[in-house]
Amino acid sequence: MFSLPPEYEKRMRAMLCAEFPVFLESCQSKRLRGLRVNTLKVSPEEFETLSPFPVKRIPWVDNGFFYSEDVFPAQHPYYAAGLYYLQEPSAMTPASRLPVKDGDRVLDLCAAPGGKATELAAKLHGTGLLVANDISNARAKALLRNLELFGVRNMVVTNESPDRLAGSFPQFFDKILVDAPCSGEGMFRKSPDAAEAWSPEKVMSCARTQGEILAHARAMLRPGGMLLYSTCTFSPEENEQQIAAFLQRFSDMKLIPMKTWSGFSSGRPDWADGNPELEKCIRIWPHKMDGEGHFLALMQKEENASFDVFPTSFPPSPGERPEKAGKRRSRASTRSKANLISENRNTPDRKQLSQITPFLGCLSPDFLQNRGNSAYYVQNNLPMLSGLHFLRNGVFLGEWKKNRFEPSQPLALALGKEDPVPRLDFSPDDPRLMSFLRGESVFLKAVEAKIPDGWKLVTADGQAVGWGKLTRGQLKNKIGASWRIS
């Protein structure tokens, strides 16, 4: 049990009126747990059949499932194989409502830790481009790991401020997701610490930041492209009022309807400027659905929108005093030039190519690059990355060491069931598999003795979990320490 901040409770009581008691009751109830299936590796129907624990479909997300609190999915080999992502049920909704199609250029602007980015990548089916960004370096590293766990090949992970990205990617993206930093009111049940950190001042500070992020996102959206804005808060200043101000400022943007569900609530024009178009927004309330609080708005840029330079100053957000506007400086503007990454692109020579080819499966050697002793699989050469801080473009494949190539964990996870590489498959219930995932070497059984020595892609029911090297019946562990299950 936790207590709501008194001023927050007063605001919600005024907003919800007769609904407030049932809303308050929902805040004290147990939160629900969910996972989202990685459709790059398995279909929802297949997962229902092979799931080692009971699951129940989330009705408004095609590949989402509820699971009970006494289950620990992160301790199962299927999690290590990237078959699913643990995600709060309502938080699955934004990525499910952005209509990504094959070949799109997609940006997730505030992407860490990767719940929405991994779903956007799955919807691309390995085509097009996903740029996943977070301004925090630590959070961007977590984002990269989750995308690698999902086996995403067509990604770029950047660690930049929105204004610097807008300067490099003007009108570049077909689809953009802005899951904006917010006051987190919709997550108080899940995270009581967020309730303790709440204040009216935080709401207004977040609203200011959200307005800036939206303006830069629009500058990166091509004419005809779609932008989905979402928050996990109930505050009108961060939701309807934010969208109303954005639409007033940019006449080439319009709200478009989303796929609905019986538990969704419409946006509230009366909480903003009265624009009836705001009813096309979606509100998710915990007392009306099996999930936490969320807000979504899907917008489209007009096909004939003119090219314009991204904005450098911003009007005040709702409720903010004008004299406070424009005082923020980009965090990236103070970043040392020494921290900016540039690519040194080379292709492997004939000897290197012969060493790496056995590990590639169906990956085309046409997309290979080496930088020093490291190898990468890069589908998208993006000159606009020059001068930007990014963590990864493509897949890190491994390293050449003393006339040999050692494959990486991200390469293992990027390989599918169809990739022709030497494999050693274990049942998910085999105790040797969990020992292997903990970083231990394991021994083959007598009936497995005829398996030839060498590098093996270790799999669970055919799904890759890492590399091992087999020598006279002993499978030596090649999973890096940071990837092991504790």
Neighbours of 153 (CB within 10 A): 23
Cβ 461 vs Cβ 433: under 8 Å: no
Active site annotation includes 17: no
Cβ 114 vs Cβ 136: under 8 Å: no
Cβ 84 vs Cβ 52: under 8 Å: no
Neighbours of 480 (CB within 10 A): 13
Give the DSSP per-residue string, 381-450.
--GGGTTS-EEEESEEEEEE-SS-EEE-HHHHHH--TT--S-EEEE-TT-HHHHHHHTT--EE--GGGTT
Judged on CB neighbours under 10 Å (0-12, 13-18, 19+), 77 is: buried
Tokens at 470, concatenated:
């087999």
End-to-end CA distance of the chain: 30
Cβ 129 vs Cβ 107: under 8 Å: no
73, β-bridge pairs = none
> Pick the catalytic residue: 27, 182, 206, 232?
232
Catalytic residue set: 232
